[in-house]
Amino acid sequence: MRTGKRPRRIFRKVVICMILAGVLYLIGLGAYNAVRGIGRLVYSAARTQSSVSQAAVSSSPPVSSAPPPASSRPPQSAPVASVPPEVISSPAVPLSSTPQNAGTPVGFFDDALFVGDSRTEALRNFDGLDNATYYAVKGLMVNTIFTKPAIEVDGEKKTVMQAVKEKKYGKIYIMLGVNELGWSSFNTFIEDYQKVIDQIKACQPGVSIYVQSILPVTAKKSDSDKVYNNQKIESYNQAIKEMAAKNSINYLAVNTAVSDSKGNLPEDASVDGVHLNREYCKKWCDYLRAHTRGERD
């Protein structure tokens, strides 16, 4: 009897050991997979964090050697009543809050100066080009740029050309000519414009000069005015373009950015047929961003 029971006890022990070994194997296998899964999660998290860090670095704006902020720039003349009420009283949403064309990085216009008449005043009031400086004066012409004290510098009224000499600029954008459409001598206009270019080159050596075309007027304004019409504006623009080529400076056909298919300023672009509203000033800004660096017309 004892001989029969002993093999059975041995058999039970073997079975129990095999079961325990199987349980231990399953536990060990589960732990291995768990550790492996945790390792994968840690590795994935590390790669995600690295990608986010690299994206943050690549999207950060480049450090620029921009000039001092607007508070330290020469004071600019105040808006004048000649600019239509819509231009002055439009909601103060700066155009610079809109996406910029890839052609110009943020801050590109910080060292830029815009010289012009009341149309450039409208561009200044919408402030869509970074921290650009504006010497924009109602009725400014290629001759009064030398004679009309209109820009206040350190409490003193100076002519635009005198004010230009007060600070170093990297780029100067000029738009003149609409107020000169009634001049009796077309050649005098070009000769005086040439003097403006010569003076700027003399007092701002190395500056990039951009001569902008004269913007068109609406068809209604053009058809009703013998002086301020788009046929005459086009002839002036052609002469300005030739002058720019002669002087090896940049000509920007900004008129193409705000014209309809017939070369007129659309009726909904202006309240008086001459000065641009916010939407069309934005088109002007977008053209400058897209064409300045490539110097295309």
141-171: per-residue pLDDT in tens?
999 999 999 999 999 999 999 999 999 999 9
Tell which CATH architecture fits domain 72-291.
3-Layer(aba) Sandwich (3.40)
57-89: per-residue pLDDT in tens?
333 333 333 333 433 333 333 333 344 443 333
Question: Rounded CA gap, 262 and 218, in Å?
Answer: 10
CA atoms within 13 A on the CB side of 192: 18
Model confidence at 279: pLDDT above 50:
yes
Provide the pLDDT for residue 229: 96
Provide the pLDDT for residue 5: 60
pTM assigned to the model: 0.67
* 99 token code pair: 């996406």
Question: Rounded CA gap, 68 and 70, in Å?
Answer: 7
Query: What is the average pLDDT score of the chain?
Result: 78
Phi first, then psi, for residue 218 (nearest 5°) are -70, 160
Q: What is the largest CA-CA distance in the chain?
A: 141
Domain ranges of the chain: 1-53, 72-291
223-239: per-residue pLDDT in tens?
999 999 999 999 999 99
110-125: per-residue pLDDT in tens?
999 999 999 999 999 8
Question: Rounded CA gap, 46 and 48, in Å?
Answer: 5
Give alpha helix (H) positions in the chain: 2-59, 85-89, 118-126, 160-164, 186-203, 219-224, 230-246, 255-258, 278-291
One DSSP character per residue, 176-219 reads --GGGTT-S-HHHHHHHHHHHHHHHHHHSTTPEEEEEPPPP-BH
Model confidence at 285: pLDDT above 50:
yes
Question: Rounded CA gap, 109 and 169, in Å?
Answer: 10
Model confidence at 274: pLDDT above 60:
yes
